[in-house]
Amino acid sequence: MHHESQHTGTGFTLSASTETIERLYTRRAARFARRALLLRQRSNQLSHIRLAVFLIALACLAMALYGVPAPTFLFAAAAIFGAAFVFLIVKHRAVRAADDRYRSLVTINEQTLARVRREWNALPPANDAIEPADPPFARDLDLFGRSSLMQLLGGGGATTLGRRTLRGWLIEPAASAEIVSRQAAVAELAVQLSRRQRFVELGRRLGQETLSIDRFFAWAEAKPWLAQRPWLAWTARITPFVLALSILAELFGLLPVPIWQLVLLTNVAFSLFFARRMHELFGQVSSRAGDIAHYAELFSLLGRRDAQANRLQEIKLQLSRSGGGAAAQLGRLARVLTLADLRFSQLVHAVFQSLTMWDFHVLAAIERWQVHSGPHARAWFAALAQWDALAELSALAHDNPAWTFPTLSSPAEETLTGIGLGHPLLATTVRVVNDVTLGPCGTFLLVTGSNMSGKSTLLRSIGLNTVLAQAGGVVAARSLRLPPIVLGTSMRIEDSVADGTSLFMAELKRLKQVVDVARAQHAEGHQRRLLYLLDEILHGTNTAERQIAVRRVMIHLLKQGAIGAISTHDLDLAGVAPLRDASQTVHFQESFTAGPDGRRMTFDYRLRPGLAATTNALALLEIVGLDAPDAQE
């Protein structure tokens, strides 16, 4: 199946087929795997060479120490081979780092291929699940969790803040100007495949990150602890010098008593008394220097390339503020934190701390960074998170070349029109697209059809594409035009034994939420119109009462200027006044064929005008092996 796309409205042109995209990732995974194999072979060779060089250096040193002739030559040889051993250690680490990088890129391309094919079981567990504070449409539309929109978007980002940002974009619709700004950035990043994958590779090093972003911000924006205690800072500066001078004075016989012991005890006492607080402060910055160093690499990657889109230019400008910018400043902080990591070597740290008040000097250096760069940290990381979220949306655009950017209409427009609209979470090979129009106000789309015919899938297709459109991404459609929208859904409703809530009551509560949103949007002058998607509503009660209840709900929604669609098995709803005049009826249908194993039912998932003419409940009963009831039952 071949698709061409121009991704109109942003200057982004990407013409490719789904098969081309799959071949691209297959080739990249194979190429990176070959490089990783060569690097592993080289790593093994270096391991053997390192061992040989170390043994030679050790042998030369041993022979020189045990009286072998020409000891000067042997000492020199031991030094040369020792230096070679150190060089090989550094070289070996670089080779192993490159091997890790290429193996990570293999995984990234294999997982991207799985997302293109919608092979959810080949992907790692989802990073985000539905939270209690999420709006109902998050669950109804599969925004988060397994086989979700977030998982399609690469798990929602390479960094923790990137995932938070993208999650917020999917839940909260952006203003039209903001959407256009994001679209331009997404279009620019979509063609930067290697750069985006390098960002993901660097971000995955933070997959086990111990850095708490919120704690880091709290520390960066707080008042320095040590600077507020100048007496302590000066004590830490003076006592090491006093200790050194007192030791020298005793060695030369200038002091009658060993004063250095008293000074050393003072250092130990101060160190023990303030150790817990200082180590807490180190932990607020980062548990390990490597966490900050990884972020510095991410910031460096973002600053290496010129940007054309306004949003990307703003991000780059934000990252360049404060003394060399985010990458340079975080790199400096990482180098200082390397000194703080000495605390993890307890014996060495105890000696250094007692003699030099090591932690105090390191904390003073960290606090100088805190004063100079701390106020900019939150803005830096917010810019990084935005780039991360934009990169995930751009990956979706790149990997689905048949999709397009939506067109945003004014708040006064009353219709949503999708041409060739499909479900984003379905693979291209099985996705069926349909033309859909919701609106104008005073009308609604009534979707009918038998079981499994595609009604729920259609509603979720509308909802998911609306979410993508208002987040700034591409949509699974040839074209989509929509006004500013607020989503209200009622699809996956469950009763609750714990709360004593029946299925019917749970549905009523959800519908009240939808009606309340419609009323609120209407009162605000239609700046953002409610789009409701109601799937088999109020099926928890009998037919007669359901018709009355649905009629009341729909009258409320129609009066508030909302647009939307409802699906139902109840064909009589189309004849209930005033729904009869307001409904635009469409339906799905099934086909039956006879085979050696009995009747077989198939669906084409094509939307057709009018009411459904068939039902399939009894046919399904027969297909699963339960005989249909006879006339006497």
Arithmetic mean of pLDDT, 519-529: 78
Nearest CA to 445 among 432, 431, 462, 433?
462
Based on the fold, state whether residues 76 and 52 are members of the same structural domain.
yes
Q: 363 and 494 in one domain?
A: no
pLDDT over 90 at 281, yes or no: no
Domain boundary (55, 87, 117) is at: 117
Contact 25, 112 (CB under 8 A): yes
Q: What is the pLDDT of residue 107?
A: 94
> Has residue 159 been placed in a domain?
no
In degrees, rounded to 5, the angle at the alpha carbon of residue 328 between the alpha carbons of residues 322 and 334 is 115
Residues 388 and 493 in one domain: no
Instruction: Name the percent of the chain lying above pLDDT 70.
Output: 87
Q: State the average pLDDT over residues 345-365.
A: 82
Strand spans (E) along 234-359:
none
Q: Euclidean distance between the first and final Cα of the chain, in Å?
A: 49
Give the span between the Cα atoms of 398 and 376, in whole angstroms: 33
- Domain co-membership, 328 together with 271: yes
Express each pLDDT in 571-612 by its tens digit: 777 777 778 888 899 988 877 777 676 667 778 899 999 887
- Residue 6: pLDDT band (50, 70, 90) is very low
Higher pLDDT, residue 56 or 451? 56
Residues 363 and 423 in one domain: no
The total number of structural domains that make up the chain = 3
Look at residue 146 and tell me if it is in a domain.
Answer: no
Q: Nearest-CA neighbor of 359 among 281, 269, 278?
A: 278
Q: Which helix (H) or strand (E) holds 327?
A: helix 325-340
Q: How confident is the model at residue 525 (pLDDT cuts 50, 70, 90)?
A: low
CA angle 266, 267, 268 (to 5 degrees): 90
Q: How many CA atoms lie within 13 A of 489 on its CB side?
A: 25
Structural domain includes residue 602? yes
Residues forming beta bridges with residue 490, ordered by sequence position: 534
Higher pLDDT pick, 341 / 445: 445
Whose CA is closest to 157, among 188, 203, 191? 203
| List of residues 6+ apart from 129 with CB closer than 8 A | 144, 145
Do 492 and 575 lie in a common domain? yes
Are 333 and 243 in contact by the 8 Å Cβ rule? The answer is: no
Same domain, 370 and 463: no
Nearest to 178 by CA among 463, 389, 489, 478: 389
With a cut of 70, say whether residue 195 has pLDDT above it: yes
Single-letter residue type at 541: T
Q: What CATH number is attached to the domain comprising 467? A: 3.40.50.300
pLDDT at 541: 67
| Average pLDDT of the chain, as a whole number | 85
Structural tokens at position 252 = 């030369």
Q: Is 502 left (phi over 0), alpha (psi -120 to 50) or beta?
A: beta
Q: Which two tokens stand for residue 142?
A: 């599969």
Nearest residue to 537 (alpha-carbon basis) of 456, 606, 465, 611? 456
Please name which of 106, 367, 117, 325 lies closest in space to residue 230, comparing C-alpha atoms.
367
In this prediction, residue 255 carries a pLDDT of 65
pLDDT tens digits, one per residue of 497-523: 556 567 777 888 888 889 888 888 877
How does strand 479-482 pair with strand 407-408? parallel
Range of the domain at 347: 203-399
Whether 332 and 249 map to the same domain: the answer is: yes
631 lies in some domain: no
Q: Mention every residue, 6+ apart, whose C-beta is less than 8 A from residue 98.
A: 39
**Domain-embedded: residue 595:** yes
Preceding peptide of 256 cis, ω within 30°? no
Q: Are residues 534 and 453 in the same domain?
A: yes
Q: For residue range 151-188, what is the model confidence (pLDDT) as tens digits? A: 999 887 788 889 999 999 999 999 999 999 999 999 99
pLDDT > 60? residue 129: yes
Averaged over 297-309, what is the pLDDT? Answer: 89
Helix axis angle, 193-204 relative to 358-399, nearest 10°? 140
pTM: 0.86
Looking at the domain assignment, is residue 50 inside a domain? yes
**Once rounded to an integer, what is the mean pLDDT over residues 458-484?**
96
CA dihedral (20, 23, 25, 27) positive or negative: negative
- pLDDT classification of 11: cutoffs 50, 70, 90: very low
- Residue 154 resides in a domain: no
**pLDDT tens-digit series, residues 390-428:** 999 999 999 999 999 999 998 888 899 999 999 999 999
Specify if 565 maps to a domain.
yes
Q: Which of 83, 101, 117 is the last residue of a domain?
A: 117
The 3-state secondary structure of 29-53, one letter per residue? HHHHHHHHHHHHHHHHHHHHHHHHH
- Whether 268 and 374 map to the same domain: the answer is yes
Q: What is the pLDDT of residue 323?
A: 64
Q: How far apart are CA 314 and CA 549, in angstroms?
A: 51
Give the pLDDT confidence score for residue 374 in this predicted structure.
87
Distances (CA, A) of 499 to 250, 494, 496, 506, 554: 80, 11, 5, 10, 27
Task: Check whether 88 has a pLDDT greater than 60.
Answer: yes
The answer on 437 and 295 residing in a single domain is: no
| pLDDT over 60 at 9, yes or no | no
SS (H, E, C) 175-200: CHHHHHHHHHHHHHHHCCHHHHHHHH
Give the per-residue pLDDT at 606: 92
Q: Quick: pLDDT tens for 562-578.
A: 999 999 877 777 777 77
Nearest to 299 by CA among 396, 223, 379, 371: 379
The angle formed by the CA atoms of residues 154, 160 and 166, to the nearest 5 degrees, is 55
Domain identity same for 350 and 433: no
> Among 399, 420, 446, which residue terminates a domain?
399
- Provide the pLDDT for residue 604: 87
Give the closest residue to 183 by CA, choosing from 10, 423, 419: 10
Q: How confident is the model at residue 433 (pLDDT cuts 50, 70, 90)?
A: very high
Within 10 angstroms of residue 294's Cβ, the number of other Cβ atoms is 20
Report residue 104 as tokens. 């990570």
Q: What is the crossing angle of helices 346-356 and 358-399, to 10°?
A: 130
Amino acid at site 332: R
| For residue 8, pLDDT beyond 70 | no
Q: Is the pLDDT of residue 616 over 70?
A: no
Residues paired with residue 486 on neighbouring β-strands, in sequence order = 530
For 477-503, how does the pLDDT look when each residue is reduced to its tens digit (9 = 90+)? 999 999 999 999 998 877 555 565 677
